[in-house]
Amino acid sequence: MKVLIVYAHPESSSFNGAMKNLAVSVLTQKGHEVKVSDLNDMTFNASLTRNDFHKIRNTDYVNYVMELKNYYEKGELADDILREQEKLIWADFIIFQYPVWWFSVPAILKGWFDRVLATGFAWDFGKMYDTGLLSGKRGMLSVTTGGPENIYAPDAPHGWNMDQVLYPVNHGVLYFCGIQPLPPFVAYAVFQAGDDIRKQYLEDYKNHLLTLESTEPIKYYCLSDFDENMKLRSGKSHSTISS
C-alpha cells in the first residue's frame, strides 16, 4: 500500500511521535511505501483565507466552498495545499495520528481538513460519502487521550463513548470525502498510564498496523440508502450500521 501519515503533534518526543515513528517503521518493514505530513514541523498554515487563492480578484465577498472548487480546477490553490493534495492522490491508505484535544483534533489538523479537502477535489455537490471524490481510499484514526477509557461512556462524566467522539472525523470528514475509515486505534490516558501500559499500547498498535490490509472498514450507509427527502429507505435499519 501507499500510506500517508498525517501527523499532528508539536513535540517529536511525544507519545504521538512514538506512535508515528512506530507506524513508519512497521509499515516500511512490511513493504509498504510511507510518506509523512508532519504538520507542526511543516508549520502548516491552519487558516483557510482568501490568500489560499492565487490572483483572487478584488472583491468584498468570497464564497469559500465555491472558490475552493474554482481555484482547485484552475490549479491555482496555494502551493502547500497542492502539495498535500498530491500526497493524498498518491496514497491509498491515510493514517491520522493525533491527540484528542477538546473532544476534537488539534487546530493544525482541522486547518489541514479545511484547506486540503477542497470542494471539487475531495467532495462535490452530490458526491459525498460512498460517492465522495476520494472513494477507493481507506483510512484510520490513531489517537491518544488524557481521559481513561471508562470516562468515555453515555453514563460516565464525558457522556459519549469514543466512537461518538470520533464520529465527526470518521464520518464527517473521512467518509464524507469517500475515504473508508477502519476502526480506530485509541491509546487512553497515556500520561497517567505508566510505562508498562504505554509499552503495551505500542505493542498493540504494532499488531493493529500489521492487520490493516485484512481489517474491514466501519460500516456506514451509502448515499443511495436514503430517499429524496434524505430519509433512510425502508428496510435499512439504524441498528445494523454504526452511528
* Candidate list 85, 145, 170, 180; residue touching ligand FAD; CB under 6 A: 145
Residue nearer to ligand FAD on the CB measure, 37 or 180? 37
Note whether 37 binds ligand FAD by CB under 6 A: no
| Residue type at position 236 | K
Give the HSE-up count for residue 20: Cα atoms under 13 Å, Cβ half-sphere.
24
Question: Residue 225 corresponds to which cell in the numbers above?
Answer: 440508502
CA-to-CA distance for 130 and 226, rounded, in angstroms? 12
CA-to-CA distance for 72 and 103, rounded, in angstroms? 31
* Candidate list 2, 30, 87, 198; residue touching ligand FAD; CB under 6 A: 198
* Candidate list 99, 111, 120, 181; residue touching ligand FAD; CB under 6 A: 99
Cα 205 to Cα 20, 111, 190, 211, 238: the distances in Å are 10, 26, 13, 10, 30
Please state the closest distance from residue 176 (CB atom) to ligand FAD, in A: 22
CA-to-CA distance for 61 and 50, rounded, in angstroms? 10
Give the SS3 label for residue 58: coil
Note whether 217 binds ligand FAD by CB under 6 A: no
Catalytic residues, by residue number, are: 146, 152, 158
Residue nearer to ligand FAD on the CB measure, 16 or 170? 16
CA-to-CA distance for 177 and 116, rounded, in angstroms? 11
Please identify the residue of the shown chain whose CB is closest to the bound ligand FAD. Answer: 146
Where does this chain touch ligand FAD (CB under 6 A) — which range of 63-71, 97-105, 114-122, 216-224?
Answer: 97-105
- From the CB of residue 192, how many other CB atoms can be counted at a distance below 10 Å? 10
> 191 CB contacts (<8 Å, ≥6 apart)?
15, 146
Note whether 16 binds ligand FAD by CB under 6 A: yes
CA-to-CA distance for 11 and 120, rounded, in angstroms? 34
Residue nearer to ligand FAD on the CB measure, 68 or 105? 105
* Candidate list 5, 18, 91, 182; residue touching ligand FAD; CB under 6 A: 18
Residues 103-132: x where in contact with ligand FAD by CB under 6 A, - otherwise, as a string: x-----------------------------
Residue nearer to ligand FAD on the CB measure, 16 or 180? 16
**Residues at the contact surface with ligand FAD, assessed by CB under 6 A:** 9, 11, 14-16, 18, 99-103, 144-147, 190-191, 195, 198-199
